[in-house]
Amino acid sequence: MRWKRAFTVVGVHAEGEYGKVITGGVVDVPGKTMFDKMVHLRDHDDGLRKLCLFEPRGAAVHSCNIVLPSNNPKAQAGYVIMESTEYPPMSGSNTICTVTAILETGILPMVEPLTKLTLETPAGLIDLECLCRDGKVLQVKFKNVPSFVQLLDGHVEVKGLGTVKLDVAYGGMHYALMDASALGFAIAPDEARDICVVGEKIREACQEQLKGIVHPENRGIRHVTVTEFMGPLKRTKKGLSARNTVVVSPGRLDRSPCGTGTSARLAVMHARKLIKVGEMFDHTSIIGTHFYGQIVGTTKVGGKRAIIPTVAGRGYITSIGQYGLDPDDPLPEGYTLSDTWLRTVTSIQKT
């Protein structure tokens, strides 16, 4: 057997959301920062993303992460996140998957009962606290990048839906957030396909009609790329809780409660004075799993008021193996078909 490329891949799910973690086979990627490395992969080696995520090795329902050395002296390592149609600057579920793989396979040392470390993402540095016991990571809590509102009570015109009211917030990616019930959804598992169709229509409308959605400190992060359907907010003895689901292109649901989506929702809630600094927020996914969010401080990003959120959840290793590319394989970058992908992916959107 002879492979043209070979990678060691650890499979992990974070509260239901599956993320592959490449821990071997990619020595490094050119670039000073992790954002630079992300841009290099996107512009010069996008075949790696396609090989890992497109059929026959991949599927529409997961992401992939590459563990890389960081040039930032504050970070022990870095990682670049790859999804089906984009390279997101940050992802909460992928962060949990990646740090679980890093610690449980011994890439970085695990300290029990609490491992503290800092990892670099394309969005910036992420501080993590991991509860550990008997060689297992029992919970990952990460302090996300500052999250902020870009638009409250906005409107877009969507074919077949009419006028859709929404908020836009950044939590590591730009989200359009909508009241699920206003669009006829209870966020039930049997609604998944219909939610995806509606979510993709809204995302496309946002990209066409909302031209000013740009990160104030990194103009390479722009546009609404994900949509979040929000269930009603409830107050409990322990804090606040709500159900949600997020549509990830090319039209599938995040199985977890979504870490960057939780951060974006916390930013909107804080802007609307629905949550205070320090209050706990239990965010539930469409399959009933939980992330626990909290606002631990406030700041400003390019003059915009922002929150500093933390999100906690758990990851579980499901597999460890190798992916390879046979030099005779006629499909070195895989393929997609619209029977399982909402639309056939032909190119990646560049920021």
Query: Which positions are annotated as active-site residues?
Result: 91
The secondary structure of the chain, three-state, reads CCCCEEEEEEEEEECCEEEEEEEECCCCCCCCCHHHHHHHHHHHCHHHHHHHHCECCCCCCEEEEEEECCCCCCCCEEEEEECCCCCCCCCHHHHHHHHHHHHHCCCCCCCCCEEEEEEEECCEEEEEEEEEECCEEEEEEEECCCEEEEEEEEEEEECCCEEEEEEEEECCCEEEEEECHHHCCCCCHHHHHHHHHHHHHHHHHHHHHCCCCEECCEEEEECCCEEEEECCCEEECCEEEEEEEEEECCCEECCCCCHHHHHHHHHHHHHCCCCCCCCEEEEECCCCCEEEEEEEEEEEECCEEEEEEEEEECEEEEEEEEEEECCCCCCCCCECCCCCCCCCCCCCCCC
